Amino acid sequence: MTANIRPTPDGSRSDEPKPDRLIPPKPDPSPPGLSWYQLLATYRKNALSSWSEQAFEKDVIASTFLGRDRVLINNPDGIRRVMVDNHTNYRRSPATIRILRPIFGQGLLLSEGDDWRHQRHTLAPAFTPRAIPLLARHIVDATQDALIRIGAQAEAGPVDLISACQDLALDVGGRSMFSLEMLHHGAAMRRLLARYSKRLAKPYLLDLLLPASIPNLHDLARFRFKAEWMRLIETIMKDRRQAPAARDDAPRDLFDLLEGARNPETGAGFSPDQLRDQVATMIVAGHETTTVTIFWSLTLLALAPEVQERVAHEVASLPAGFDLSRERAAQALPHLVLTRAVVQEALRLYPPAFVLAREAIHEDTVCGARLRPRGLALIAPWVLHRHRKLWQDPDAFDPSRFLPGATPPGRFAYLPFGAGPRVCIGAQFAMTEAILVVASLVSAFRIEPAGQRPIQPAAVITTQPDHAAPFRLSRRGE
């Protein structure tokens, strides 16, 4: 395990690693040459430990796993081939589909071919920058309510920060999607997602061996979960439809935008089941990714108090007429330069999507490595974002990498939201939410770790903390 070291106070850069830089905790890499059984056990325990030191140094690592080619790609040209130039030759792996289908259904994330193109074209108009002010108002409303709740918790003692971030992100998701506070449904949603993450979201041997069309015993439990989960989504949609309509007929939320979305080429919208699956996809993808992005951003700032103070100062120094109110928050975003850089650095160190697995349909060669049909091309942001050839001092927390004037990372060296035609359609929304929430919380509270045990990242659908860690939050100005 890597120990914490005092943070760099001014965000300056140099060509050599700084002796006082912050190195956040991370799991130890695995020894090379693990057997298939050892590798499977590592996947189930914490997939972030499945890569050896060589993975962070080499462009390509080719191997076999359960009789299939397996190529980890860190070379930007190789990533471009899989994600862009030859993307039609690659699809989601059967294991990915098995594990994610029960919570995402047939939505955009897991669709393929013509179905994916229809969904993408239909959804695209709803996710333009014009929708950001609508989203920002919901973010601010949910965050202001969360500040009251978190403040009350902080007065009673240390705060479970991941739980607070989950509650807030779920409320933001509920308001953004449905204009509804999640008081009635939030607990049920969190309970179901926690139950799924604990057991059904982890890969088993048969998940990796069988085609997605052949169910196994674990799939039966996943099918039962899916039925319960989708019933809850349909109940929330029903509640939303019963809410009074807006007086001016303007879209109130993402649900209005999705329900009215039409494919510009065909004029077709979504069927009821397709709409339900899109809603499930947006809620889970948005809730899970933004929760961990906000959590890791705040955790890094707690470990780097001088950077935290600079973020608080940035918010306090917003120009006149720009603030974090519901009407002005979207306009304040361009002025939150350091806050954005902190979020981007958190996404580098702790990418929510820690690995992207693509199955080859036809034989291909990537950076000299052969991939036969059904072979797996692995692009792991967890590895890529810490690769020694692509990043200076890669394990250090250094938001200045993303400040204006810094050399931007290579196009295929930084993939927090994927790349190519299947890049995350909600990337702008996710960044907007994370920046506004981090800015609001840091401007309201001074955040410090309250526990002695280092917080390790663990792979559970997204890059989660390995335990519920307490933080001390004290109000600024007191």
Query: What interhelical angle do 427-444 and 305-316 show, nearest 10?
Result: 100
Tell whether 24 is covered by a domain. Answer: no
Strand ranges, E, within 263-397 = 356-360, 364-366, 369-371, 376-379
Task: Please tell me the distance from the alpha carbon of residue 109 to that of residue 93, in angstroms, as a whole number.
Answer: 13
Lowest mean pLDDT among 9-23, 139-153, 276-290, 375-389: 9-23
* pLDDT tens sequence across 448-461: 999 889 999 999 78
The mean per-residue pLDDT over the stretch 417-421 comes to 93
* CA gap 461, 83 in Å, rounded: 21
Is the pLDDT assigned to residue 371 strictly greater than 90? yes
Q: Of 25-39, 337-351, 457-471, which gets the smallest average pLDDT? A: 25-39
Over range 113-134, report the average pLDDT: 88
Cα three-residue angle 56-62-68, rounded to 5 degrees? 130
Q: Is 29 domain-assigned?
A: no
Residue 30 clears pLDDT 80, i.e. is over it? yes
Domain count, the chain: 1
DSSP 83-144: IIITGGGEEE-HHHHHHHHHHHTTSTTT--HHHHHHHHHHHGGGGSGGGHHHHHHHHHHHHH
Instruction: Kindly state the tokens that stand for 340.
Output: 């954005």
**Which pLDDT belongs to residue 247?**
61
Phi, psi of 72 (to 5 degrees): -90, 125
Mean of pLDDT over the chain:
89
Residue 14's pLDDT is: 38
The whole-number average pLDDT for the span 317-325 is 90
User: Degrees (nearest 5) of the Cα angle 467, 472, 475?
Assistant: 145
In a domain, 21, yes or no: no
DSSP code at position 246:
P
CATH of the domain at 232: 1.10.630.10
- Quick one: average pLDDT of 74-84? 96
Q: How far is Cα 221 from Cα 229, in angstroms, rounded to an integer? A: 12
> In this structure, is residue 30 part of a structural domain?
no
Is the residue at 22 inside a domain? no
Do the domain assignments include residue 8?
no
Q: Which of 169-183, 336-350, 352-366, 449-463 has the lowest mean pLDDT?
A: 169-183
**What is the per-residue pLDDT for 174?**
86
Tell me the residue range of the domain where 60 lies.
36-88+96-354+377-475
User: Do residues 147 and 165 touch, judged by C-beta distance below 8 A?
Assistant: no
Give the tens place of pLDDT for each residue, 134-182.
Answer: 889 999 999 999 999 999 999 999 999 999 999 999 899 888 888 887 7
In a domain, residue 13? The reply is no
Local confidence band at 478 (pLDDT 50, 70, 90 cut-offs): low
- pLDDT band at 15; cut points 50, 70, 90: very low
Alpha-carbon distance of 292 to 351, in angstroms, equals: 9
Residue 285 lies in a domain: yes
Q: What mean pLDDT is predicted for residues 375-382?
A: 96
Tokens of 246: 């807006």
